[in-house]
Structure 1
Amino acid sequence: MLRKTQILTAIFSAIVAMGAAQAQIVDTPASHAVIMDHETGTILFSKDGQEPMIPASMTKMMTAFLVFELIERGEISLTDKFTVSEDAWRRGGFPSGTSTMGLAPGDTPTVEELLHGVIIMSGNDACIVLAQGISGSEEAFARRMTSLAHELGMSSANFKNTTGLEAVGHVISAEDLAKMAKLTIDKYPQYYDWYDMPSYTWREYTQANRNPLLSIEGTDGLKTGHLEVSGYGLTASAVRDGVRRTIVINGLESMAARAQEGERMMRMAFQSYDLKVITPESVELPEVKVWLGQQQTVPVSLASKVTIAGHKAALEKAKSEIVLDQALQAPIKAGDTVGKLVVTVEGQAPTEAPIVAEATVKKLGFFGRAVEGLSQMIGGNNG
């Protein structure tokens, strides 16, 4: 059994939420929920955030992102035109009874117009037309969406269509939706502005943006979603005092509940959660015992900076400990990893940060080791 050395410290510290099933300081009626700090990508709050869920129309964030990528690569342009098929009209237009851009068979909207239909109007017809125009079929385009999502680190994603309409196995986690929002904002700010548009009109048909938080301070995107099987969901992002936070919620029982909980979660994102960075220079760790060394202890420090995040109330009660994988035994070189700092905050999974020796400790000679062994024997007998 490996020996552990545990030393409580007075370090102000916290952990990055890892989505583990732990008691939270706060809760939400949403079945899945995430709060993310945008700059660092740190998850501040997570309720089943890593569990794959049905995203409904929040899927369209990935549909649009893939189109942005293809424009960037030069495979298509904003001015390209695609013809609306009867299939796209029947499955995504007015006959479908679902969210629509109002396209008709034979229409030839541009890619830019279709993207507005996807982002602002949540048009299922616009999604299908883009997919068929680019990949030949919606299924092929959805496979490409999944492949790109995995390339970008969103391993939970499995897209069966471009619309988010119910399909067996069509899932993505709330944390990965938050990552998608961050990627969209960071990589394509020129297109992200479209998520903030209050409405869009295709010919005589106008559809208002359904994001209920656009009237709330600093909110500038992103996407709602709803299916009977998944409930009401929302991915939203806002900037206040130069800080951007993103929330994802899903599984609410009504549009009103989504709006109310979205506003509450966004308020908490800025008022109740904090994020700091602890550097090796900013914290002093206690020295660690060394066996059979010319010095009995060695000074240690963090190997690199640690991102600190959590609920402000929990941060005040945060605890940390130094844990060694085994009893430290000389020789030790300066810079060697000798253990880890384990930080615990209520409601979050523990995080670990490697610690390194700050000095070299040489091994005792034969006589010194003999004396040390004798001392251990005497000490053991006294016990």
Structure 2
Amino acid sequence: MHFSLLYSRIVLGSMCFLFKVPAYALPKFPTSPPLIYTSAPFALVMDAHSGAILLDKNANVPIPPSSMTKLLTLYILFDAVRKGHFQWSSSIFVSQDAAKKEGSRMMLIPHQSVLLKDLVLGIIVCSGNDASSAFAEAFSGSEAQFALHMNRVAQALGAKSTYCVNASGLPHPQHKSTCQDLAWIARRIFQEFPQYYPYFKLKEFTFNKIRQWTKNLLVRKGLADGIKTGKTESGGYGIVASAQRKEQRFIVVLNGMKTEQERFQQTNALLNWAFSRFITVKLFDANTVVKEIPVFALNKKVGLFTPCSIRVCIPKYQLKDVKVKIIHYNGVYAPVYKDKPLGEIQIFIPDAPKQVFKLYSTQEIILKSWWRRALYWVGI
């Protein structure tokens, strides 16, 4: 849907005060009917593009994240490849400790060397605790040191309630996260590493002549295209799942279910509910110039652009009620800097907080000489 259907009047004049939107100041829709019921004690549904939270049931309560922890391990791995610290052909040594990890395993053999790409598939498809530990040791020297790095990365990503003591999610009293943190990490994987996301929809992987199937029944049945399941005795069955239909993508995070079948049914129901009730609308592409404003006394104009793509997720019945305002100065004085906001886009959705996106100048205008600045300010 083109943004012009939602586009409202441009408001000129003095610019209103600007508000910085923190990472978790995301729009939440009202919890009154007809929101769907879920038996999961911890649940979150998020629009992957806008970050809008469509359903929140104890989503910020600490939970044992089980193997969903591996999403943070994978984020660090993908980032290491991006930065050139590792290549897909890198050979990873498997220590005795890594190979003997309990729980889900890739079936690594002590003292063998494994290609990093195989290790990634072992983490994603097999949910290999051994594979996660092997990468942690290759990256940081020990899994304990890697866990410290995980916590620093989690904080940087905005996953403020996540604390890890290992790379795999094996049970530990201090190992915790939240549904919202897990959704946030998954969303960052979509945004930063779209080229690697297809690995999450692989249904099987064979290593050391052992064939294993993904534990994600939604992926196996073609109802989702990722991203990670988990289970612990204390935390029950959990999942971070995502699916895309046309241009819409939603993330569902659940934890605390009693059976694998309940996890499958509840996740599928929430995905279907999100796709049937909500619509995601792209208002502006990244780097779109939405307005030009004059620079006083210089016979020049600067464009105002949004550095990020702006999308909103709207209940379908409210589509006609969304309002968009563009607030900016009638003009600005030199100097003009690229990193200084000169306006904002305000989006109003009924029953949801106002969303604000800053607008920046497309160019810098600097008066370099002192005499030129002096003449400019006296109006000559």
Pair 27,202 (structure 1): closer, same or farther in 2 beyond 3 Å: same
* Corresponding residue of 2:353: 351
Question: Counterpart of 1:127 in structure 2: which amino acid?
Answer: S
Mapped pair 1:27 → 2:37: yes
SS class of match (1:141): helix
The equivalent position to 1:65 in structure 2, one of 72, 75, 79, is 75
Pair 312,49 (structure 1): closer, same or farther in 2 beyond 3 Å: farther
Mapped pair 1:236 → 2:246: no
- Between the aligned partners of 1:248 and 1:49, the Cα distance in structure 2 is 9
* Corresponding residue of 2:195: 190
CA drift at 1:277: 7.8
- Between the aligned partners of 2:269 and 2:208, the Cα distance in structure 1 is 37
User: What is the CA deviation profile of residues 132-175 of structure 1, one whole-angstrom value per residue up to 9, with x for unaligned ones?
Assistant: 12111111111111111211222121111111111122112212
Mapped pair 1:142 → 2:147: yes
Mapped pair 1:47 → 2:64: no
CA drift at 1:263: 0.9
Question: Counterpart of 2:353 in structure 1: which amino acid?
Answer: T
Contact 1:218–1:240, Cα closer than 8 Å, also in 2: no
User: What is the CA deviation profile of residues 284-306 of structure 1, one whole-angstrom value per residue up to 9, with x for unaligned ones?
Assistant: xxxxxxxxxxxxxxxxxxxxxx9
- Between the aligned partners of 2:48 and 2:355, the Cα distance in structure 1 is 22
The equivalent position to 2:212 in structure 1, one of 207, 211, 233, is 207
Correspondence list, 1:29-178, <5 A: 29-90=39-100, 92=101, 96=102, 98-178=103-183
Identity level (%)? 30
- Between the aligned partners of 1:242 and 1:111, the Cα distance in structure 2 is 32
Which has the higher Rg, Structure 1 or Structure 2?
A: 1
TM-score (ref. length: structure 2): 0.68
Pair 42,319 (structure 1): closer, same or farther in 2 beyond 3 Å: closer
- Between the aligned partners of 1:18 and 1:33, the Cα distance in structure 2 is 14
- Between the aligned partners of 2:137 and 2:162, the Cα distance in structure 1 is 21
CA drift at 1:82: 2.2
Pair 37,319 (structure 1): closer, same or farther in 2 beyond 3 Å: closer
User: What is the CA deviation profile of residues 256-303 of structure 1, one whole-angstrom value per residue up to 9, with x for unaligned ones?
Assistant: 101111111111110123445899xxxxxxxxxxxxxxxxxxxxxxxx
- Between the aligned partners of 1:341 and 1:66, the Cα distance in structure 2 is 34
Pair 270,217 (structure 1): closer, same or farther in 2 beyond 3 Å: farther
SS class of match (1:207): strand
* Corresponding residue of 1:371: none
Question: Counterpart of 2:159 in structure 1: which amino acid?
Answer: M
User: What is the CA deviation profile of residues 201-222 of structure 1, one whole-angstrom value per residue up to 9, with x for unaligned ones?
Assistant: 1111111011111145562111
* Structure 2, gaps ≥5 residues long: 1-7, 9-24, 285-309, 324-328, 332-342, 357-380
Deviates more, 1:161-170 or 1:270-279: 270-279
Question: Counterpart of 1:351 in structure 2: which amino acid?
Answer: P
- Between the aligned partners of 1:308 and 1:80, the Cα distance in structure 2 is 41
Contact 1:32–1:251, Cα closer than 8 Å, also in 2: yes
Correspondence list, 1:195-344, <5 A: 195-216=200-221, 219-275=224-280, 309=313, 311-312=315-316, 315=318
Contact 1:37–1:244, Cα closer than 8 Å, also in 2: yes
Question: Counterpart of 1:140 in structure 2: which amino acid?
Answer: Q
Pair 34,137 (structure 1): closer, same or farther in 2 beyond 3 Å: same
- Between the aligned partners of 2:355 and 2:151, the Cα distance in structure 1 is 32
Contact 1:217–1:240, Cα closer than 8 Å, also in 2: no
* Corresponding residue of 1:361: none
Question: Counterpart of 1:174 in structure 2: which amino acid?
Answer: C
Alignment root-mean-square deviation, CA: 3.2
* Structure 1, gaps ≥5 residues long: 1-10, 280-305, 321-332, 355-383
SS class of match (2:92): coil
Aligned residues: 291
Pair 79,27 (structure 1): closer, same or farther in 2 beyond 3 Å: same
User: What is the CA deviation profile of residues 240-261 of structure 1, one whole-angstrom value per residue up to 9, with x for unaligned ones?
Assistant: 1221111111111100101111
- Between the aligned partners of 1:179 and 1:17, the Cα distance in structure 2 is 14
Name the one with the larger strand percent. 2
Pair 118,277 (structure 1): closer, same or farther in 2 beyond 3 Å: closer
Contact 2:26–2:51, Cα closer than 8 Å, also in 1: no
* Corresponding residue of 1:364: none
Contact 1:17–1:309, Cα closer than 8 Å, also in 2: no
- Between the aligned partners of 2:233 and 2:316, the Cα distance in structure 1 is 36
Question: Counterpart of 1:207 in structure 2: which amino acid?
Answer: Q
Instruction: Report 1 or 2 for greater relative contact order, CA contacts < 8 Å, sequence distance ≥ 6.
Output: 1
- Between the aligned partners of 1:51 and 1:100, the Cα distance in structure 2 is 29
Deviates more, 1:181-190 or 1:259-268: 181-190
